[in-house]
């Protein structure tokens, strides 16, 4: 799995399903589903040029949208 599989999922299914698959299938241990919503929020904020705005994650840690995109390897979702 990895980047090519993520890109393939983005081409074959909805962004929501691809994001869920990416977070639960491309990480060990898998990223908890509670992080899907803030991950989607980070993608949207970066697309809107608000990447320096903060998001509080479900574990209470606050990061910028760009930090979340980079940390969760969501770059492929930005061009979708």
How far CA 5 is from CA of 9, 22, 25, 51, 63, in Å, comes to: 6, 9, 10, 25, 27
Q: What integer pLDDT is reported at residue 4 of this predicted model?
A: 53
Q: What integer pLDDT is reported at residue 26 of this predicted model?
A: 87
Q: What integer pLDDT is reported at residue 8 of this predicted model?
A: 72
Dump pLDDT digits (tens) for 18-65. 999 899 988 999 999 999 999 999 999 999 999 999 999 999 999 999
CA 79/CA 44 separation, integer angstroms: 11
Q: What integer pLDDT is reported at residue 34 of this predicted model?
A: 96
Q: Where are the domains of the chain?
A: 3-78
Per the DSSP assignment, residues forming a β-bridge with 54 are: 64
């Amino acid at each position: 799995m990895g980047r090519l599989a993520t890109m393939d999922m983005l081409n074959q299914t909805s962004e929501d399903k691809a994001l869920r698959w990416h977070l639960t299938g491309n990480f060990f241990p898998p990223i908890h589903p509670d992080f899907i919503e803030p991950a989607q929020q980070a993608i949207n904020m970066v697309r809107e040029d608000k990447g320096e705005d903060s998001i509080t994650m479900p574990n209470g840690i606050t990061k910028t949208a760009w930090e979340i995109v980079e940390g969760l390897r969501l770059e492929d979702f930005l061009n979708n």
